[in-house]
Structure 1
Amino acid sequence: MGRTKIPRKICGRAANSCFKPNGVPMAQLAQQILAADEFEAMRLVDWQGLQQQEAASEMNISRQTLANLVKAARFKVTDCLLHGKALMIDQHHKDPPLLL
């Protein structure tokens, strides 16, 4: 039995819910789903330039959890770029939301 997740604070939202290669119908594309907390972790670290400890504090999670989220998010984005997959951004947070 695993621990219950601590609610994660998510402040940012993607401009679009999907990014895909041009000229290929969505029905023909494999999809990769980027979770809301993965998007937020990447936004804080890669776009806002926060240190991992600062970003973890912003999200109300540990630094190691943040590092795991950033690693997973970067892998998914890179997978989509390398293999021509559609990147689906989950706008719905599955944990008890702390959306601001």
Structure 2
Amino acid sequence: MPRPKIPRNICGRPADPCFKPNGIPMVNLEQVELAADEFEALRLVDLEGKQQQEAAVEMGVSRQTLANVLKRARFKVADCLTHGKALIMHS
């Protein structure tokens, strides 16, 4: 049985809930969901340029947890960009 998920501090919200390739109806696209904590990790580290340790403290998680969340988020974004999938973000 996995450990319960530690609550994370999420301050940023996506500008839009979905990004998708132009000209392709949403019903024809595979969708990938980006969790709120994955969006926040990307925002803090990649957009704001914070060190992982600093971002982890801000989110209220360990540095290793942040690194794992960030790795999942980057994979999902790269998958969408590479394979033309829709990226759905929950806030």
Corresponding position of 1:23: 23
Corresponding position of 1:81: 81
RMSD: 0.6
Corresponding position of 2:4: 4
Q: How far does residue 4 in structure 1 lie from its aligned partner after superposition? A: 1.9
Q: How far does residue 22 in structure 1 lie from its aligned partner after superposition? A: 0.2
1:1-100 alignment, distance < 5 Å? 1-91=1-91
Unaligned runs of 5+ in 1: 92-100
After superposition, what is the alpha-carbon deviation per residue over 1:3-22, rounded to whole angstroms, capped at 9, x for unaligned? 22221000000000000000
**In the aligned structure 2, how far is the partner of 1:2 from the partner of 1:26?**
34
**In the aligned structure 1, how far is the partner of 2:22 from the partner of 2:3?**
42
- Extract structure 1 runs of 4+ deviating beyond 3 A: none
TM-score by length of 2: 0.97
**In the aligned structure 1, how far is the partner of 2:43 from the partner of 2:56?**
12
Determine what percentage of the aligned residue pairs are the same residue. 69
How many pairs are equivalent? 91
